[in-house]
């Protein structure tokens, strides 16, 4: 049995296939997912699982060197934005590295999701609770 907290076999499989700069998207329940992009749907009901819980679990298994978020998160969902920035700061300290944060307009964000290996859909109902994780290397 797996030792890490991530027990979702589909997500674990995607992460195991990721190479340097490959992307994985974590989405709120409303983000449109491109037909050509693999969907892993975790949404059970409003708020479950949450965006941050899903992110934290995935970050236990995935090395990240860059994140992409919608610029609108900062103004429309400030509380979530601040929690996300704190989480990234904690991760940088834990892993002794800098994570590049890229902010783009929401429409551009949706276009980039087409390049993700998958979109993990959560039950999050907070606007713009979406992030693209760009894989780093562990060496």
Bridge partner residues of 90 (DSSP): none
53 annotated as a binding-site residue = no
Identify whether 49 is preceded by a cis peptide bond (ω within 30 of 0): yes
Query: What is the rounded distance in angstroms from the CA atom of residue 119 to the CA atom of residue 50?
Result: 15
Query: What is the rounded distance in angstroms from the CA atom of residue 6 to the CA atom of residue 39?
Result: 17
Give the side-chain half-sphere CA count within 13 A for 123: 10
Instruction: Note whether 68 and 109 are within 8 A (CB).
Output: yes
In the annotation, is 20 catalytic?
yes
Catalytic residue among 2, 20, 86, 100: 20
128 annotated as a binding-site residue = yes
108 annotated as a binding-site residue = no
130 annotated as a binding-site residue = yes
Query: What is the rounded distance in angstroms from the CA atom of residue 98 to the CA atom of residue 66?
Result: 9
Indicate the annotated binding residues for substrate: 28, 106, 128-130
Residues with catalytic annotation?
Answer: 20
């Amino acid at each position: 049995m797996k030792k890490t907290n991530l027990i979702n076999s589909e997500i674990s499989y995607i992460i195991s296939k990721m190479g340097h700069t490959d992307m994985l998207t974590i989405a709120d329940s409303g983000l449109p997912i491109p037909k050509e992009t693999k969907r892993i749907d975790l949404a059970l009901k409003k708020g479950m699982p949450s965006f941050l819980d899903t992110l934290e679990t995935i970050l236990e298994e995935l090395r990240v060197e860059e994140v992409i978020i919608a610029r609108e998160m900062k103004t429309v969902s400030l509380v979530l934005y601040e929690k996300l920035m704190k989480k990234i700061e904690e991760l940088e300290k834990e892993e002794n590295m800098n994570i590049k944060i890229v902010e783009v307009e929401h429409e551009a964000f949706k276009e980039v999701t087409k390049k993700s290996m998958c979109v993990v859909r959560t039950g999050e109902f907070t606007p713009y609770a979406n992030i693209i994780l760009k894989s780093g290397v562990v060496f």
